[in-house]
Amino acid sequence: MQASAVRRVRSVEPSVPLVDQVPTVDGSEWAAVASDAGAVNVIRVFRFAVGHHLSAESASLTAVGDLGRVCALLGRGLRGLFHPAGGRDLAWDARRVLELAPLVSLVESSARRAVVEKALVDFERVALPRLDQLRAQLIHNDVSFGNVLFDDEHRVSAVLDFGDLIHAPLICDLVAPAEHLLQRPDGLRALGTLVDSYRVVTPLEDEEVELLPVLLRARWAALALISLWRLERSPGMAEYVSRWQAGVWEMFERVDRLGERPWCQQVLRAVGAASGSGTPRRVSTASLAVARQRVFGPALSPLFYRSPLWLVRGEGSVVFDVDGRPYLDCYNNVPVVGHGHPQVVAAIARQARLLNTNVRYLHELPLELADRLVESMPSGLDQVLFANSGSEVNDLAWRMARSYTGSDGAVVTRDAYHGATFATAALSPEEWRGEAKFEHVVRIEPPDGYYGAHRREQVGWALRYAAEIDRAVDELGVRGQAPGALFVDTGWSSEGILAPPPEYLVELCRRWQEAGGLVVADEVQMGFGRSGSGLWGFQVHGIVPDLVTMGKPMGNGHPVAALVARRDIVERFSENGRWFSTFGGNPVAAAAALSVLDVIERQELVAHAGAMAQRLRVGLERLVGRHSKIGDLRQIGLLVGVELVEDRTTRAPFAAADVVEGMRGRGVLIGSTGPRGNVLKIRPPLVIKEEEVDQLVEALDATLTSLG
């Protein structure tokens, strides 16, 4: 088995430095020689390997990392090999460590006996039930510091000793190189380096990494017990054998001092395990908030919640805080396909491993993405430019519209938000403070049929709002401006989330376009399926914009944004200007966005969002009957606004903040919006499940009940 393993690794992973073997005179890999006592000894001869030993305690991190890399390469070299001897009995078989339990009596100190016993009990409880579910193969099983040589650059120059080969879970192969690392002062960092380097070659599964702490303690138990047993049987080997134990007791004592759970979390965090993101931690939430204030200063938007949330992990519609508490995320519209979607994450990682450059080199991914976006648009919108944020593409749309119309005149709704650049901040009255006034920007009333000048009870209310655009055109004229660009967030998310009937936007855009202006559909909020009936919000309203901007959900969290525009607009712009963004449309961003589109398609998320939106509607309407604080419900698919009032007759606003806090206390994240801060903003990922929709509704029911 050893010979075939070496042969296999040599052919499959030739970069692994193995020791050269000298064949016997008749060309075989070993010779069998009878001893005087009548036993048969197998003899093999190797050439000297060049290099020196490093100890786990003093090896550089470079050496530790290279050991992890070589360990993974060995595993990769062996993974296709079958050998019946792989099933043999071996004391170092990690799965059989419990069979060593009778040796515990050899441990003299009762305190030490207790920690070994605890390690075995935990192994039995935590690891044993799960080991059989992990991928297994032939593994080297002893890629420890004692079995490798390093060159002067601290790279592995030789792997020795295939004597512990066994068929076992792949993750067990990482235990031998890791076994003594935690003796080091920088032990956690060294362990992280080892595992990270391993992962570069062979990605590890969460279930595998999560077992590392318990496997490590079991290995220490095995080291101590086997060494005591050997000492008893062959005192002549005392020096060699007792080396195995060196450091083991000290590491056990550290676990004991810290407590098993906190120690385990510490190790899990060091190796980047999904569940390692909980306590203990060196800093508190409060001290992190203080640091935020100190280093980010007063200009940054404030934290959410009176007692801020420290989030560390997400999966689907759920995010977890630093203490491991789950929250249903009904606020963040970026992760449309769910937090940490494995397909998106894999696409990003795969491309990041291959190459990341910019669009001044040819690459197929940004082109494929551009084609996919164009396919989803009305005909005529066939030019695509990439950037990294919604603000940037709105800025670019603004530049395009100005060059096309020759005008600076912009129209936005009263509390619109379109970005954070110098130009788009001027188009974002929601963020204007004090006396901010921009001569080139005219504001129109948003189509608010509940609070605004025209109410839903009035016939033709929406068209009255649409007619506002004529006043805006006149006002621009008075200021000496022709119609330039009208920016519309197709969900009016900063206006309290509005859902006017289609005739509103159709009429508004008709009048504006006839007056010579361009329409920019800002799909940063609504894009990528949020409406539950199509990929883009403008489709719900039945308009054909001149330019479309998108960002936020486009990469499910990876920064990527795009502008889609008519060719004549882009051509006009290019007469006097050019566009380039270093990161815009890079292959990694394109891979992210393409996989988001794939997931939306394959998981049929638009239809799913539509169905979940319907379920949410039904649930919320039930609450309207139960809670007089709900004044109005507005919804476009999975963008939902719940308008809160003190009193349905006066429609006096009821601040959303207490409800948002109450929902957090019940494990659900939502936000607030609207000029009066009284609208609950609900935007769950499109992958939200039925039971999660119900959880949201129940939490809102309970919160409103508690607020009386």
Interaction site with ligand PMP (CB under 6 A): 389-391, 394, 417-420, 489, 493, 522, 524-525, 551-552
Q: Smallest distance from the beta carbon of 329 to ligand PMP, in angstroms? A: 16
Q: Smallest distance from the beta carbon of 642 to ligand PMP, in angstroms? A: 19
Q: Smallest distance from the beta carbon of 379 to ligand PMP, in angstroms? A: 25
Question: Tokens standing for 330?
Answer: 């009904």
Q: Smallest distance from the beta carbon of 526 to ligand PMP, in angstroms? A: 8
Q: Which is nearer to ligand PMP, 489 or 507 (CB)?
A: 489
Q: Smallest distance from the beta carbon of 7 to ligand PMP, in angstroms? A: 55
Q: Which is nearer to ligand PMP, 398 or 417 (CB)?
A: 417
Structural element, H or E, at residue 248: helix 248-258
Q: Which is nearer to ligand PMP, 103 or 550 (CB)?
A: 550
| φ, ψ of residue 603 in degrees (nearest 5) | -90, 5
Give the C-alpha separation, 298 to 305, whole Å. 17
Q: Which is nearer to ligand PMP, 12 or 420 (CB)?
A: 420
Q: Which is nearer to ligand PMP, 93 or 392 (CB)?
A: 392
| φ, ψ of residue 490 in degrees (nearest 5) | -75, 5
Q: Are 404 and 576 in contact (CB under 8 A)?
A: no
Of 576, 546, 562, 395, which is closest to residue 483 (Cα–Cα)? 546
Strand locations in 37-115, DSSP E? Answer: 40-43, 45-46
Give the C-alpha separation, 462 to 456, whole Å. 8
Q: Are 588 and 559 in contact (CB under 8 A)?
A: no
Q: Which is nearer to ligand PMP, 320 or 417 (CB)?
A: 417
Q: Which is nearer to ligand PMP, 144 or 389 (CB)?
A: 389
Q: Smallest distance from the beta carbon of 615 to ligand PMP, in angstroms? A: 25
CB atoms within 10 A of CB 326: 14
Q: Which residues contact 409 (CB under 8 A, 6 or more apart)?
A: 440, 442, 476, 479, 481, 482, 483, 484, 485, 517
| φ, ψ of residue 452 in degrees (nearest 5) | -70, -170
Q: What is the DSSP letter of 276?
A: G
Of 530, 541, 449, which is closest to residue 501 (Cα–Cα)? 541
Q: Smallest distance from the beta carbon of 494 to ligand PMP, in angstroms? A: 7
Q: Smallest distance from the beta carbon of 142 to ligand PMP, in angstroms? A: 51
Q: Are 673 and 641 in contact (CB under 8 A)?
A: yes
Q: Which is nearer to ligand PMP, 214 or 554 (CB)?
A: 554
Q: Which is nearer to ligand PMP, 316 or 390 (CB)?
A: 390
Q: Smallest distance from the beta carbon of 386 to ligand PMP, in angstroms? A: 13
Residues pairing with 52 in the sheet: 150
Q: Smallest distance from the beta carbon of 627 to ligand PMP, in angstroms? A: 28
Tokens 């004090």 belong to residue: 434
Residue of minimal CB distance from ligand PMP? 390
Question: Tokens standing for 311?
Answer: 């989030």
Cis peptide before 23 (omega within 30 of 0): no
Question: Tokens standing for 35?
Answer: 């001893």
Question: Tokens standing for 660?
Answer: 């948002």
Q: Which is nearer to ligand PMP, 197 or 586 (CB)?
A: 586
Give the C-alpha separation, 510 to 523, whole Å. 19
